[in-house]
Amino acid sequence: MIVDEHIRDYLFSLDGELPQFLAELEDRALAQGVPIIRRDTQSVLKFLIRKEKPEAVLEIGTAVGFSALFMLEFLPEGAHITTIEKVGMRLKEARKNLAGKDRITLIEADATEALEQLVLSGRKFDMIFLDAAKGQYGSWLEQILKLLEKGGLLVTDNCLLDGSIAESKFAIERRDRTIHKRMREYLYEITHSEMLDTVILPTGDGLAVSCRL
């Protein structure tokens, strides 16, 4: 945990309740150990969407569809979400949870391949929410920048690795060192890129908000 639990719980108490169907989906996902966006991350996403009013959103990492459904609640009328997922056990739930939502398109494919196809199609997005395999964030950045409109937002979740990102690699368990190294490289790229203006927030498991210059 990055932010003190006592402060976090107080901030949660100031937030409104989720719609019932989302609260039930959140409970099911957490009970099954499915990683979904945390409450403090939800608050920042809601704020950004209401302020920026994106018309086209790309999500990389659908999981069971919770975050796509959450974002849809606050998008302007007529806005659309494209979301990418490849994990079979997640897709089964995502298909069910997103059924009938004609403003959400689920792409069932590897993210690298899907992003390449979206670039070739000439698609552009006002907001991209990156919440997938953390070790791959850097390898997707070039394609993401091609897809993101000027002035658009790239929101990267889980970028502080529960605070361990600040530790020396020698303090990290050997099995986690590759992700630790790659995430550090990704954070350096998005904070030093001439194409992005980035702020990193100690929200949830770390949230980076980047504006495409």
**What share of the chain has pLDDT > 70, as a percent?**
97
> Does residue 199 belong to any structural domain of this protein?
no
Q: What is the mean pLDDT of the chain?
A: 92
> Does residue 207 belong to any structural domain of this protein?
no
> Does residue 165 belong to any structural domain of this protein?
no
Structure tokens at 174: 């050997």
- Expressed as residue numbers, the domain containing 124 is 5-155
- What is the model's pLDDT at position 3? 66
> Does residue 68 belong to any structural domain of this protein?
yes
Write the pLDDT tens digit of every residue in 32-79.
Answer: 888 899 998 999 999 999 999 999 999 999 999 999 999 999 999 999
> Does residue 139 belong to any structural domain of this protein?
yes
> Does residue 128 belong to any structural domain of this protein?
yes
Total of domains in the chain? 1
SS3 at position 43: helix
Read off the pLDDT of each residue in 93-120 and give the average, rounded to a whole number. Answer: 97
Read off the pLDDT of each residue in 75-86 and give the average, rounded to a whole number. Answer: 97
Q: What's the Rg (C-alpha) of the chain? A: 17
Q: Does the structure show a pLDDT above 80 at 131?
A: yes
Q: Structure pTM?
A: 0.93
* pLDDT band at 151; cut points 50, 70, 90: very high
Cβ-contact 196, 210 below 8 angstroms? yes
- Half-sphere CA count of 77, side-chain side, radius 13 A: 0
CA 126/CA 143 separation, integer angstroms:
14
> Does residue 36 belong to any structural domain of this protein?
yes
> Does residue 191 belong to any structural domain of this protein?
no
The CATH number of the domain where 38 resides is what?
3.40.50.150
